[in-house]
Amino acid sequence: MLNSIVFNSGITIGGEIARGQSVLNRAKTDYAPVGIRMGAFKLLPTLSSENEWKDNIYSSQNNAVDDLIFHIKPALAVQSDWNRHALTFALDSDLQSYASRDAEDKENYSFNLNGKFDVLRNSFTHAKLLYANLYENRGQATSVFGDPSSGFIALRPTNYQTLESALGYEHKMNRIRFNLDNDTTHLSYQNGIAPVTFAIIDNDKNRSRLRNETSFRLGYELNPNYEAFLKTSYNFIDYDSQFGVDGLQRSSVGYKGVTGIALDLTGKLTGDVYVGYQLQDYKDIQLNTVSGLTGGLGMKWSPSGLTSIQTNVDRSINETIQGFSSGVFSTAFTVGVDHELLRNIILSANSGYTLNEYQGGNSRTENVYSAGFNAKYLINRHFYLKSGYAIGTRTTSIANTNYDLNSIYITIGSQL
């Protein structure tokens, strides 16, 4: 999903990094956008143009096809400037045009509204409303005719819309903190066209669904740097059609319980680590219940004012409509490093690994690797250049589904 735009106060090279902030995201005094003042709000428009070359646009094992992709990315952030409470609106977009394969053209965009209302000194409510129009990546194994293992792929990438609303409340009393949150997301998948026969791929009936999750978190501050917590959640997933094209009922209910530690060591090292158990039970008796160990880790470390390192580990259960597989246990590891080489030059590198284990059916397994690096050059407070390289690799237990993907890109961006 597209990320919201966030701008922060300026800081000089080698200065202190704010808690939870990376070198990449912090703004520089001489290069920060001024924005447009409108009463108690500030408008921050941006526009970037990116040229990208990919050597395998269909994520295929054989007969890879390359193409040049032109991206236009207009965006707008509107932020309140109040003493109490906060309201932020963000418009993000990525309009893609393929030089040779115009059937792959995409119009990704999202609208994101976030609000925070301060109730008491140590309590607040927060709300979110998001709408996004997106396209799945080619080679997506969770869709029909999205994966080359079927022998062919849909004529166009799968288009879908996301509508999400969230509401939460946090309260702290002495050493005790509790959070109550609810998140509701509806995914609406558009029908596709199968190759050769040109038959309709009934994505809407197979995949469109509502997911609701309610969670409760209870934390206890052991000392100012450590907080122990327990978190439980309940979710239900309700597909728009009771039966899919395959005749299966994929609606389900799930539970998760974890315990962990949140830490903040003088702002240099922040994050949390947790471990627990999760379960997803499916309505159709032909689909196996998915359950097992879950856990996660999210850390941000700033060894100096010039370098920041972020690492994340997450184990979760995801949806699929592949055969008689009920769900996918995904274990993902990512690490990213940002370094301020000069005041206006930032170098970044990242790598990731995901293990996808399909439960039931053909017991498919996938190993997905990714890596990349880029450099960002801030010309002045209104313009910047960015260029980078990325690689992705997938190996699976199913024939004809491995692939390698390389991309190179260069971006010129502007901001007010």
Contacts of 359 (CB under 8 A, 6+ apart): 288, 290, 325, 326, 327, 328, 329
* pLDDT confidence of residue 111: 97
CA distance 248 to 251: 9
Can you spell out the DSSP letters for 27-57?
PPTTTS---EEETTEEEEEEEEEEEEEES-T
Q: Structure pTM?
A: 0.89
Contacts of 113 (CB under 8 A, 6+ apart): 87, 88, 89, 128, 129, 130
Q: Give the 3-state DSSP-derived string for 276-343, with helices as H, strands as E and coil as C.
A: EEEEEEECCCCCCCEEEEEEEEEEEEEEECCEEEEEEEEEEEECCCCCCEEEEEEEEEEEEEEEEEEC
CA quadruple 111, 160, 390, 62: dihedral, nearest 10: -170
Q: Three-state DSSP class for 150?
A: helix
Average pLDDT across each block of 10 residues of the chain; the chain has 416 residues. List them in order: 35 49 75 90 96 93 92 97 94 97 95 94 94 89 57 79 97 94 96 76 80 97 94 96 87 97 88 96 94 95 91 94 90 96 94 95 92 96 96 91 94 95
Nearest to 332 by CA among 307, 309, 366, 302: 366
Q: Three-state DSSP class for 175?
A: coil
368, β-bridge pairs = 354, 394
* pLDDT confidence of residue 13: 39
- C-beta separation of 375 from 347 below 8 A: yes
Checking 311-316 for CB contacts under 8 A at 24+ apart, the result is 311/335, 311/336, 316/278
Please report, as a single letter, which amino acid is at residue 193: I
CA distance 379 to 347: 15
CA distance 181 to 107: 31
* pLDDT confidence of residue 19: 59
Helix (H) or strand (E) holding 223: strand 209-223
- Here the tokens at position 25 are 């995201």
Helix (H) or strand (E) holding 254: strand 252-265
276-to-107, 291, 299, 311 alpha-carbon distances in Å: 39, 11, 18, 19
CA distance 246 to 153: 18
Can you spell out the DSSP letters for 89-118?
EEEEEEEEEESS-GGG-EEEEEEEEEEEEE
**Exposure class string for 93-113: b at 16+ Cβ within 10 A, else e:** bbebebeeeeebebebbbbbb
Can you spell out the DSSP letters for 339-408?
EEEETTEEEEEEEEEEEEEEEETT--EEEEEEEEEEEEEE-SSSEEEEEEEEEEEEEESSTT--EEEEEE
CATH topology of domain 36-415: Maltoporin; Chain A (2.40.170)
Rg of the chain over Cα atoms, rounded to whole angstroms, equals: 23
* pLDDT confidence of residue 326: 93
* pLDDT confidence of residue 148: 55
